[in-house]
A and B are shown apart, each in its own frame.
Chain A
Amino acid sequence: DMKVTQMPRYLIKRMGENVLLECGQDMSHETMYWYRQDPGLGLQLIYISYDVDSNSEGDIPKGYRVSRKKREHFSLILDSAKTNQTSVYFCASSLEGDEQYFGPGTRLTVL
């Protein structure tokens, strides 16, 4: 069963706290993505990972970093979260840049 999972689904943090969002996929896809989705803005690419330890900034990488130590896992880290990072975060994976498979999203609130 092809699947992208995200943990946690909901998260509330205070400004200045660290945030770790996890994404997993069971399809052995080499490419994985992190997006954020805000009302009226659609999906904005934060980071793209082409494989283990091969990551590239997307359109809005400031304030975020990523880690990919295994092909099936891709983490998004917010060091010292800010209120403007309140958003819904989506992870996706694709095989050789073909269609993307999306996770269910993580709704992050930074107070």
Chain B
Amino acid sequence: GEQVEQRPPHLSVREGDSAFIICTYTDSATAYFYWYKQEPGAGLQLLMSVFSNVDRKEEQGLTVLLNKKDKRLSLNLTAAHPGDSAVYFCAVKDTGYQNFYFGKGTSLTVIP
């Protein structure tokens, strides 16, 4: 089955710096890619979704890169601020299936 590895598990950056998170997956049939944010005591909130025909997507200070050859998905938060402190999860899904596979999360701390 699909294996999703996410790193780093913990990340600390200063306000205004960038934060970079990577996920790798194993199944070449994976077609849908997601990044979620989880704040303390809350559920997961979708940040961005990407289909496999997209290599790069930018929205509101977030950049998602997809490298299908290397089976790698990344999230870059530019100019991080303390409100970005949370746990971030990547998730992937195959075409035609409804099971999502999650990374184990990255706990991001943005230091003022």
A residues lining the B interface (CB < 8 Å): 4, 31, 33, 40-43, 45, 48, 50, 58, 90, 92, 94, 96-105
Contacts and interface: CB of A to CB of B under 8 A. Distances in A.
B99 A48 contact: yes
A92 B45 CA distance: 11
In terms of DSSP, what is the predominant structure of the interface of chain A? strand
In terms of DSSP, what is the predominant structure of the interface of chain B? strand
Interface of B: 6, 9, 32, 34, 36, 41-46, 49, 89, 91, 93, 96-100, 102-105
Contacts of A102: 36, 43-45
Which 4 pairs, one residue from A and one from B, show the smallest C-beta to C-beta distance? A102-B43, A97-B98, A42-B104, A102-B44
Given A42-B89, A90-B43, A100 B100 contact: yes
